[in-house]
Amino acid sequence: MPARALKTLLTCALLGFTAFSQAQQVLRLTAIPDESPTELARKAAPLVKYLESRLAMKVEYTPVTDYAASVEALVNKKVDMAWFGGFTFVQAHVRSGGKVIPLVQREEDEKFKSVFISGDPTVQALADLKGKDVSFGSQSSTSGHLMPRHFLLQSRIDPDKDFRRVAYSGAHDATIAAVASGKVQAGALNISVWTKFVADGKVDTGKVRVIYTTPAYYDYNWTVHADMPVALRDKITQAMLALSRDTAEGKEVLEVQRATRFVPTRAENYKGIEAAARSAGLL
């Protein structure tokens, strides 16, 4: 390569790196709004503090109004990293033409589950939901809609035909509230939110109980845009994998994230979610 051309190439590369380094003063995070804004902000705060210390850069958490907004934010690079459910990851992967990369998931997300709950004494099994009012979470929720719907269809129960009414609460905690108040006879939600509500005494299990727990499936992950430099992507991954309950800092982050630890993940893990979404006509 001629010396002048090589010099031009190196100059362009340097300018490009400089432009990135100037622009990337802040790592922007978001998360699907599967719980109340207050709870999401509480969960984000320790992680933001931890990542700032490990990455030596400013980290900001920005809430979004709905699941679709989280997908669009990452696809259009309005944020750098997003906490997705399995279904929202699939939506982002399809929407971006494969330009998003899942980095890590909680160990619990390798075998995640949903629960169906009810406060109606006549509802003891999935078959008893026929003719009832049943709530899902968000329409784009993996554990609050897609996979519960998938397992209902496998049991030859079509929500749109067999339920008296299908409701969408928008979030897992809102589903619990709808069932507890009697607005609906049953609801489907994320098992970890249910477990937390029970542990915190926020639900009367004498009145509201689990009637069915789904088989396991892959769910939540932290995903970045494929245009993120590999060095930064690797640094984030290593920081997440280094979190340990053996340290005060790690314990704080992992507890609010309801995680034992974070483990590596890959796009192939979510092929089953994509197949379920296509089968249910949701993708």
| Residues in the chain with pLDDT values less than 70 | 1-24
pLDDT in tens, 47-67: 999 999 999 999 999 999 999
Q: pLDDT (tens digit, 9 = 90+) per residue, 115-147?
A: 999 999 999 999 999 999 999 999 999 999 999
d(CA 189, CA 116): 7
pLDDT at 4: 53
Distance CA 136, CA 84 (A): 18
DSSP string, 99-141: -EEEEEEEGGGGGB-EEEEE--TT--SGGGGTTSEEEES-TT-
The residues, any chain, with a CB within 8 Å of residue 208's CB and separated by 6 or more, are: 117, 118, 119, 176, 179, 180
Q: Are 89 and 71 in contact, with CB atoms under 8 Å apart?
A: no
79: phi then psi, degrees, rounded to nearest 5: -130, 165
E strand or H helix that includes residue 237: helix 230-241
Of 282, 273, 280, 281, which is closest to residue 90 (Cα–Cα)? 273
Q: What is the pLDDT at residue 24?
A: 58
Q: Are 55 and 26 in contact (CB under 8 A)?
A: no
State residue 228's pLDDT score.
Answer: 97
**The pLDDT of residue 255:** 96
Q: Are strands 186-190 and 133-136 parallel, antiparallel or unpaired?
A: parallel
